[in-house]
Amino acid sequence: MRRRQFVLGGLSAGLGAGALPALARAPAKTTARAAIPFGAAMRVDLLRDDPDYRRAVLEHCQVLVGEGGLKWIDLRPAADRFVFDHPDRLLAFADAHGMQMRGHTLAWYAGMPKWTEAITTKQAAERALYEHIDTVVGRYKGRIPSWDVVNEAISDNPAIDKPMRPSLWQDLLGTQHIDMAFRRTAAVDPKVQLVLNDFGFENPTGQCRAKRTAFLRLVKELKDRGTPLHAIGLQGHLPGEKEIDREGLSRFVSELHGMGLAILVTELDVIDDKLPPDPAIRDEIVASRAQAFLQAIGDVVRPEVVLTWGISDKFTWVPIWFSRKDGLPNRPLPLDANYQPKPLMRVIKAFTSAKA
């Protein structure tokens, strides 16, 4: 059997001692493994309008997800109107090129259109949630094989007695909304992979520990109630300035995997607003964070899929919330703004590739 090291060539170049987290060690023994499909979140207009973007996607991706498009704010301009143009186009593109499309997302606290503020009773919330799932999951039945049914349900700094993030759904239906969303999605498309998607589990901070505890408790409760739940989506929006808690993350993944759940990496990028300005140094730190994150998961189980939240630094959500004080552009993604692969792409390729 061929041995393979996950150590990255030149990763520490240009960095002061101690600037990097513990780098991956070569595993003691290796076994054969299959390739993990890689993909990215898409802005569908760019697939049509930007040939370089399209080329990059065709070269690198096997899986696509809409960066928007299936969110309430995009699909539901009015209570009685659904606009499927973007997801339809993305699915057509995926189909035409033999790629899979993931669904993101059915119940989320953010990205809700203004008119939903008129939903103020339990009955109205239940009706709206079910109508939405019936219509959207129903439309793509058999064509979108994996859905982020509920997104970001746990609050940012969960208190023991108040772990859930406020949202229209949580406020009117309670935690039960998660069961309702999962059961309804399963009823509409019994073959769909049902994913609970969330972020903020990977650093050695009290906040991440609290989030892991709250998330595990929620998942156990869902399992105990017999809620259909197949997989956990770890978003992986990694704060670049923070170390990865490899042990804590591995233990967390191991508990989830032990409950029979598959693991997906759904939205990987490295938020680089607090990293040094030099692009080469920044790119190496970005790569090393992702490497530590992926390896902590991979030490327990190979994720079913790895997606980044965008493909090129030219188009990323990061500056919306995390623009740099020095005004330099963010560099969170595997390709730079000219579509050239960065060290992060090497990390992803090394992690996702098959091995004999």
Q: What are the residues binding ligand XIL (CB under 6 A)?
A: 67-68, 151, 235, 237, 267, 317
Which C-beta is closer to ligand XIL: that of 167 or that of 235? 235
Where would I find the H helices in 189-317? 206-224, 246-258, 279-298
Amino acid in the structure at residue 130: Y
Which C-beta is closer to ligand XIL: that of 8 or that of 208? 208
Least separation in angstroms between CB 222 and ligand XIL: 19
Which C-beta is closer to ligand XIL: that of 126 or that of 211? 211
Residue 258, judged by CB atoms within 10 A of its CB (0-12, 13-18, 19+), counts as exposed
Least separation in angstroms between CB 147 and ligand XIL: 13
Which C-beta is closer to ligand XIL: that of 102 or that of 237? 237
Which C-beta is closer to ligand XIL: that of 126 or that of 151? 151
Which C-beta is closer to ligand XIL: that of 197 or that of 295? 197
Least separation in angstroms between CB 167 and ligand XIL: 13
Least separation in angstroms between CB 149 and ligand XIL: 13
Least separation in angstroms between CB 266 and ligand XIL: 8
Buried b / exposed e along 262-295 (16+ C-beta atoms within 10 A): bbbbbbbbbbbbebbeebebbbbbbbbbbbbbbb
**Phi then psi for 45, rounded to 5 degrees?**
-65, -35
Paired with 262 in beta bridges are 231
CA gyration radius for the chain? 20
Least separation in angstroms between CB 170 and ligand XIL: 16
Helix pair 176-188, 122-139: axis angle to 10 deg: 30
Residue nearest to ligand XIL (CB): 317
